[in-house]
Structure 1
Amino acid sequence: MFTQSPLIKENQKTPILNMIQKNPREEGLFLALADLLLPGFDRQIENAIDSDNDTLIEAAERAKRLIASAKASAGKKLANLKVADITKLAMTSTGDSVMGEKIYIRQGCIACHAVDQKAVQKGPYLGSAGSKFTKDYLVQSILDPNAVVAQGFQTELITMKDKTAHLGFVTREEGGVIDIRNIAGIVTQIKEDMIAKRDHQPQSMMPAGLAKTLTVTEFSDLISYLVSMKE
Structure 2
Amino acid sequence: MPDPRDTRDLESFAAALADELPGHWRSEYHRHTAYPDQFSLAEDVWDLNLVSAAVAEDVLEHDAVLTREDGARLYVTGRPRQDEEYLVAAMAPPGIAPEAFRGVREPDGIAVPDDPFRAADDITADLLPRYDKALAQVQHNAQGFAEQQAAPAGAGAERVVMTWADDGRLVARPGSEEAAAILRENGFVHDEQHAYVLSGDDTAVQGRSVRSAGARLSALGIRVMMRNPPSKPALDTTPGTAPTPAKPGARVR
Fold equivalence (TM over 0.5):
no
Q: Comparing both chains, which one has the higher relative contact order based on Cα–Cα distances under 8 Å and sequence gaps of 6 or more? A: 1
Q: More helix by proportion, 1 or 2?
A: 1
TM-score normalised over the length of structure 2: 0.27
TM-score normalised over the length of structure 1: 0.29
Q: More strand by proportion, 1 or 2?
A: 2
